[in-house]
Structure 1
Amino acid sequence: MTTDPASATINQVSPLLVTARELIEDVATLPTPVIIDVRWQLGDPHGREHYFSGHIPGAQYLDLSSALAGPRTTREGRHPLPPRDEFQEAMRRIGINDDSRVVIYDDSGNMSAARAWWLLRWAGKENVSLLDGGLKAWIAEGEDLAVGPGNPIEYGDFTFKFDHMRTVNADTAAEWPDRGVLIDVRHRDRYAGRTEPMDSRAGHIPGAINMPTDGFLDERGRFLPAEEIRRMFADAGVTEGKDAVVYCGSGIRACHALAAMEVAGLDVGGLYPGSWSQWSADRSRPIALGENPR
């Protein structure tokens, strides 16, 4: 990853992360970054209402389901990648230009914000950061929140460039355990098949190991130190030269695990966008149950 000179205020530990204190200083200087609020959690469709109740001043709300995913289908899964032209248009509507600095946050440890980060990187934009600790970190600094709809903004000129992040399809995911490391980042009970609240079958892709992505966060919802995350991946067999592919329920939390790789200084692995929602809907695909990969 290259870093634009304008990102000098970004966290020293990882170019991906910005602290709340750094963001406070950043918004006091020109040009200010484009700040995006991506509040979304499984089972909670009220992100816009949460935004209206209180958000970082100047932040623009981005709806994950409509702006950061294509329509749900059995064939593609619950949150397929958005069409490129529609994603480009959504980014322009919230004021992103080709030369903009972008800072993204949520209120769930960057679990949903990381999806916007990954998609912007996928579209070729480099200068994109996550607010470490999210909205809670901003509030902890004693900063006020704005309420109601965001202020009107100028339409941006963001241009979608050719794919800059790697994706794999179901066939490649199926064979990946024999080529590298396939990582399932859902909670352990869903991985083992003890419960499945969202998709048609329970279990995991045969050969996938389990690394719940909330394990990369501390009790405040901030990413653990880079060395600790790097050690966690190494224990799972993911090191430089050992390629990884990541999936989750529908391709949202998997982006958080890929962000953790970036924090750790590892080459960002591949994303299986359809994830378990696509795999489980295809009755021809095998499933594994229990704690063991196969």
Structure 2
Amino acid sequence: MSHLPLPSPLVSLEWLADHLGDQRLVVVDASTSATNPVTGMPMGAHDAYLITGHIPGAVYADTADSFREPGAPFPPARPGLERLEQVLRALGIDNTSTVVIYDSAFGQWAARVWWILRAAGLDRVALLNGGLSGWRQAGHPEERGDTEPRLAGELTLRERDGWWATTADVRRILDGAAGVSVEVAVNNDSEATLVCGLTASDPGGAQPHHETTLVCGLSGQAFAGNPGDPRSGHIPGSVNIPFESLLEVPSRHLLSGAALDRYPAAIDPRRPVITYCEHGILATGVAFALRLRGHRDVAVYDGSLAAWRANPLAPLTQLAANLPH
């Protein structure tokens, strides 16, 4: 049986509607939370999948639990290949599958699963543009109840190089920019300016002189930091690309590549990019957008700020305009 090709890593609602029922297609609901449409109260994502409905034929993935490595110090750390193979086979995914992923939020959880699958060597994987919200707004059909996954055949996974970054990778970037270890720099005011790449007259996130661009996917407020919390803010020298700035409201469609044009340091194909956020979720959404635009050297810092802050000497910086005078 021939494979079902994808037109893009980001497929339209119409494309999915036209291909529902194709035996080569596995649609994955990667939602992690939901709101009861009657009461407006929060409800479990699996309950919402069963009761309020999902895209016909979609299988439910317990994303926050299944797509992480148990016991990892900074959850939700990506699962190892052995665990991932078990999770994917349970969803009916094998070497013949074409996979389309969506969620009921803004696409960040679907992007997380997309990144994990692509980093593990799977090629025919796409996000649904607009997600479940867009599907509903377009008036496409839904179904309730559970979907029994198909029986999976052989599945071969292999870790792709360059898709994940570690704390050590980020430390090397900052060490190279400062010409001194970050532990030394954070305790020396004159060298700390070098590490940050920021001055009081330059609050916008100037880049230090190194080859790799650090991109923070948090909101502008979180990036700026809280003056009352010295461990808030961002890794020195980072560019801020809030994930929500890449979405069209209210459709939740990912904006075209032009939305990234205001961030020249991040889209320069000559400069590798490492994205991060708080726990590595929004970071995958930004990384997906960069890959979609054509940037091929993008990695996600999986532990993100949760892992970075674990070292009390690891530097963080706040925007100068946000600091107390």
Q: Is the shorter-chain TM-score for this pair beyond 0.5, marking a shared fold? A: yes
Residue 17 of structure 2 aligns with which residue?
Answer: 24
C-alpha contact 2:24 2:96 (8 A) present in aligned 1: no
The answer for unaligned runs of 5 or more in structure 2 is: 35-41, 174-207
Give the RMSD, CA atoms, in angstroms: 2.8
Do residues 65 (structure 1) and 57 (structure 2) align? no
Q: Which whole-Å CA distance do the structure 1 matches of 2:62 and 2:88 have between them?
A: 11
For residues 242 and 134 of structure 1, what CA distance do their matches in structure 2 show? 31
Q: CA deviation at 1:152?
A: 4.6
Measured after TM superposition, the shift of residue 291 of structure 1 is 5.7
Corresponding residue to 1:246 among 275, 278, 284? 275
Structure 1 residue 269 corresponds to structure 2 residue 266: no
Q: Which residue of 2 aligns with 1:122?
A: 119
Residue 47 (structure 1) shift: 1.8
TM-score (norm 1): 0.86
> TM-score of the superposition, structure 2-length normalised?
0.78
In 2, Cα distance between the equivalents of 1:266 and 1:281? 30
In structure 1, how many angstroms separate the alpha carbons of the residues matched to 2:137 and 2:33?
Answer: 22
Query: What SS is found at the alignment partner of 1:144?
Result: coil
* Structure 1 residues 242-293: Cα deviation after superposition (integer angstroms, max 9, x where no partner): 111100111111111111012212214111111011111221312212268x
Task: Provide the rounded CA distance (Å) in 2 between the counterparts of 1:5 and 1:98.
Answer: 9
The question of whether the paired residues in 1 share the 8 Å contact of 2:3 and 2:24 is answered with no
Q: Give the deviation of 1:109 after TM superposition.
A: 2.5
Q: Is 2:212 the partner of 1:180?
A: yes
Matched length: 279
Partner of 2:180: none
Code of the aligned partner of 2:15: E
- Structure 2 CA distance for aligned equivalents of residues 122 and 168 of structure 1: 12
Structure 2 equivalent of residue 192 of structure 1: 224
- 2:101, 2:126 within 8 Å by CA — same for their partners in 1? yes
Deviation (angstroms), 1:172:
1.6
Change (3 A) 1:242 1:5: farther
Asked if the contact 2:121–2:157 (Cα under 8 Å) also holds between the matched residues in 1, the reply is yes
Given the alignment of the two structures, is residue 39 of structure 1 paired with residue 68 of structure 2, yes or no?
A: no
The 8 Å contact of residues 3 and 96 in structure 2, kept in 1 or not, is answered as no
Is 1:213 equivalent to 2:206 in the alignment?
Answer: no
1:229 pairs with one of 259, 263, 274: 259
Report deviation, 1:87.
0.8
Q: Unaligned stretches of 5+ in structure 1?
A: none
Q: CA deviation at 1:175?
A: 3.6
Identity of aligned residues (%): 27
- Shift of residue 165 of structure 1? 4.5
CA distance in structure 2 between the partners assigned to 1:268 and 1:50 by the alignment: 37
Alpha-carbon offset, residue 157 of structure 1: 2.7
Residue 81 of structure 1 and its aligned partner are, at CA, apart by 1.5
Superposed CA deviations along residues 180-217 of structure 1, whole A, max 9, x for unmatched, are 21011111222222299xx9942211221211111111
Task: Give the 3 Å change call, closer, same or farther, for CA 253–86 of structure 1 in structure 2.
Answer: same
